Amino acid sequence: MDFTRVTEQPTSFDRPQPGADPGDPRGALVHAQEPARAPGTGAALAAQARSGGESAASQAASPAPSGAAPETAAPGGSGQDTVTGPASEHSQPGAEHGAGPDAHRPRPASEGIPVQPAAGQEGRPVQGPDGRERRTGQVTPPGRPTPMRRDGDRLRFVGAATRRIARGIDLDEIVMGLCRATVPTFSDAILVYLREPLPVGDERPTGPLVLRLRRSDRIPADRDTEGGFAPIAPPEPNELDSVGEELCTVRPGSALAEVLRGVRPVFTDAPAARAALPELLGEQGATAVPDGQRAILAPLRGRRRVIGAALFLRRPERIPFEADDLLVAAQLATHSALGIDKAVLYGREAYIADELQRTMLPEHLPRCTGVRLASRYLPAAETARVGGDWYDAIPLPGSRVALVVGDVMGHSMTSAAIMGQLRTTAQTLAGLDLPPQEVLHHLDEQAQRLGVDRMATCLYAVYDPVSHRITIANAGHPPPVLLHLGGRAEVLRVPAGAPIGVGGVDFEAVELEAPAGATLLLYTDGLVESRLRDVWTGIEQLREKLAATAQLTGPDHPPPLEALCDEVLDMLGPGDRDDDIALLAARFDGIAPSDVAYWFLEPEDAAPGRARRLARRALSRWGLEELTDSVELLVSEVVTNAVRYATRPVTLRLLRTDVLRCEVGDDVPQLPRLRQARATDEGGRGLYLVNRLARRWGATRLSTGKVVWFELNHG
């Protein structure tokens, strides 16, 4: 349905004439059967219409012959309507042909300017062989105004064209709307030049003014003219095709600069505009512009400055533009320029929001011991593209890793900003090595401090590759799905909990088995919920999709992690992109017990020597004797620092994975700092040695103290 059509009551200027075609787009009435009328009435009123100068009383005294046939006004008559029924001041033209209940209602008016007559017929409408007007089918009386010159036609066209331009959101849609609205209704061709680059908002452009041809539109030579555009003679195929250059630099003080500064549309036959054409179109393009008032150059001015120009062209065989057409071009240029400004601002806002959200998501996932990670993020549809979904993987002490996925309610830049704050808070809390339920509790408090109605769902899980266990706490988020090595997929039963931001609720954590080879899938509700399905139906479909994908690789080999994420996203249908989607997949490899060595050391002076002996034995058992000297030196330094201040037993753990990792834990919360020892200092060189010899090292504060760790490469 075309919502751009308007319905207008016929005025005295453009009432349809007698004998109008029922399909007249100007609003001809629907004709019905002729109603009954009093004998003699039609003849009397017809005689009154013909006489024009006699009084009504004298004509009423002349009786009409009985059974006289009704008469109609001649084509060349005075233009009064012939009435064949009882007349009233509310009678509509042509009512003698339709007495139905809707006979007084006009048809919707056409949204475009009527067809342009050919040159040489500017004072007369285009007529067919039968003497009727080609556009409406009416018999055209001599001296009747040409339909294209009616003010109502232009107003209807401007209204329809501006509505079409305003429907566009992005830059291409607005420029296309301008071209499609004007060709062929208003002009035979149009060229739209825009500033390169387009300024955004209040920013001041730097450098010279450069115009780039953004779009051009022309009537093809083989156009089907049945829709109303019927040129008298076929145009030359390339008549207007040579008009236009790709790039134009506007020189300060030039004729084109003066025309653009003037803002108002001008005919190109004016001296200033004619001098500006070679600069805009090039010498060859300027010579192809038809002579006379057949081209209008309209500057496009936005809210702050000129952002381009539009050139409207008519072929030489068409009638030239009129003075009122400059007003039409001005309206088109103004609405187009404001729409372009709006589109540029909208595009910049969407770009900023998208960048804001993407920079708040992890750029890449960390490489953690005993677990492999993969992720996906898909923004929502263009109508609501900015959301608050996020995911994260945070390394923890003891080779553990925290897996986080969350969803801030709403779709706006505010949601993205709140997501960034909650993600930063979660990373800080994870660094304190708090239990999952405590992390959610502090996130809930932080959401309440951010303001009212700052709600989000979140799932926080901690995986320990040594114990092959995972601890999960949930805050109103969809439950994760665990895909076992044999191909069985199950939805984990975790307490649902209340969303973050509700306040005054407790969160509960559960500890579950995380067998080697299994895959844990964490996701946001955009993956499983849409207008076409509820969330639980989507979760069941996700479980079935994971199980079917696992069957393809067999029971002994889990599917590749990246391919599994792609297969999961393939379950999305055309109506499933109402929300953004965050997806985090974790493949549990674990650490075998044979690759772990763990001891408790009493905080005494003999602890460093015992640590060296235990480390030497473990390395010999693993066949890593080449690392013995380095490991003994570093272990001795770290354990010495630990037992100096510790009051409880010190822990020493060695992990053999792709690297050799050593962890020393104590009950002192103060973290060691690397410093340059002076020549007279007796200590302070332990961490300097660790920093020089180790591949990586670090210190992490725990709720019960701290852990100092370092890693060494092995063959």
Identify the band that residue 169 occupies on the pLDDT scale cut at 50, 70 and 90. confident
* DSSP string across 217-272: EE--TT--GGGS---SSPPPTTTTTT---SEEEE-TTSHHHHHHHH-S-EETTSHH
Residue 598, judged by CB atoms within 10 A of its CB (0-12, 13-18, 19+), counts as middle
Identify the band that residue 207 occupies on the pLDDT scale cut at 50, 70 and 90. low
Question: CA torsion angle for 323, 329, 334, 336 (degrees, to 10)?
Answer: 180
User: Which residues have C-beta within 8 Å of that of residue 419, sequence separation ≥ 6?
Assistant: 357, 360, 388, 389, 390, 406, 408, 456
Q: In the prediction, which pLDDT does 272 show? A: 86
Identify the band that residue 206 occupies on the pLDDT scale cut at 50, 70 and 90. low
Q: Over range 554-562, report the average pLDDT.
A: 87
Q: Is the pLDDT of residue 32 over 50?
A: no
In this predicted model, what pLDDT tens digit does every residue of 398-450 receive, in sequence order?
Answer: 789 999 999 998 777 788 888 889 999 999 999 888 899 999 999 999 999 98
User: Which residues have C-beta within 8 Å of that of residue 489, sequence separation ≥ 6?
Assistant: 481, 482, 483, 543, 544, 546, 547, 550
Question: CA torsion angle for 278, 281, 282, 288 (degrees, to 10)?
Answer: -90
| Average pLDDT along the chain | 76
Q: Residue 496: how many CA atoms within 13 Å on its side-chain side?
A: 4
Residue 399, judged by CB atoms within 10 A of its CB (0-12, 13-18, 19+), counts as buried
Question: CA torsion angle for 152, 156, 157, 159 (degrees, to 10)?
Answer: 140
Identify the band that residue 715 occupies on the pLDDT scale cut at 50, 70 and 90. low
Measure CA 515 to chain center.
Answer: 42
* DSSP string across 565-632: HHHHHTT--TT--SS-EEEEEEEE----GGGEEEEEE-SSTTHHHHHHHHHHHHHHHHT-GGGHHHHH
From its phi and psi, is residue 94 left (phi > 0), alpha (psi between -120 and 50) or beta?
left
Higher pLDDT, 113 or 389: 389
Measure CA 40 to chain center.
Answer: 70
User: Which residues have C-beta within 8 Å of that of residue 279, sequence separation ≥ 6?
Assistant: 248, 250, 251, 254, 255, 256
Q: Phi, psi at residue 361, to the nearest 5°?
A: -85, 155
Q: In the prediction, which pLDDT does 663 show? A: 93
Q: Over range 460-471, report the average pLDDT.
A: 95
Alpha helices in 511-560 (DSSP H): 535-553
DSSP letter at 664 equals E
Question: CA torsion angle for 319, 325, 330, 335 (degrees, to 10)?
Answer: -80
Q: In the prediction, which pLDDT does 44 show? A: 40
Please give the Cα distance from 91 to 104 (Å, whole number). Answer: 8
Q: Over range 244-262, report the average pLDDT.
A: 81
Identify the band that residue 677 occupies on the pLDDT scale cut at 50, 70 and 90. low
Please give the Cα distance from 290 to 21 (Å, whole number). Answer: 36
Please give the Cα distance from 453 to 409 (Å, whole number). Answer: 9
- Bridge partner residues of 231 (DSSP): none
How far, CA to CA in Å, does 450 sit from each of 356, 421, 511, 656?
18, 9, 31, 44
Of 76-85, 121-130, 533-542, minimum mean pLDDT range: 76-85
Q: Over range 29-42, report the average pLDDT.
A: 41
Please give the Cα distance from 655 to 663 (Å, whole number). Answer: 8
Q: Phi, psi at residue 433, to the nearest 5°?
A: 60, 45
- Across 34-43, 56-65, 389-398, the highest mean pLDDT is recorded for 389-398
Q: Over range 267-272, report the average pLDDT.
A: 88
- Pairing label, strands 596-601, 581-588: unpaired
Of 128-137, 243-252, 294-303, 460-469, minimum mean pLDDT range: 128-137
How far, CA to CA in Å, does 700 sit from each of 56, 109, 469, 599, 709?
109, 76, 21, 19, 8
Identify the band that residue 237 occupies on the pLDDT scale cut at 50, 70 and 90. very low
Please give the Cα distance from 357 to 352 (Å, whole number). Answer: 9
User: Which residues have C-beta within 8 Å of that of residue 145, sequence separation ≥ 6?
Assistant: none
Q: Is the pLDDT of residue 544 over 90?
A: yes
Of 52-66, 312-326, 469-483, minimum mean pLDDT range: 52-66
Identify the band that residue 516 occupies on the pLDDT scale cut at 50, 70 and 90. very high
Please give the Cα distance from 9 to 106 (Å, whole number). Answer: 7
Measure CA 470 to chain center.
Answer: 38
Q: In the prediction, which pLDDT does 332 show? A: 92
Identify the band that residue 110 occupies on the pLDDT scale cut at 50, 70 and 90. very low
Please give the Cα distance from 526 to 597 (Å, whole number). Answer: 43
Q: Residue 7: how many CA atoms within 13 Å on its side-chain side?
A: 7
Q: In the prediction, which pLDDT does 573 show? A: 65
From its phi and psi, is residue 685 left (phi > 0), alpha (psi between -120 and 50) or beta?
alpha
* DSSP string across 679-696: TT-SS--HHHHHHHH-SE
Of 218-232, 274-288, 398-412, 537-551, minimum mean pLDDT range: 218-232
Measure CA 587 to chain center.
Answer: 34
Angle at 570 between CA 565 and CA 575, to 5 degrees: 130
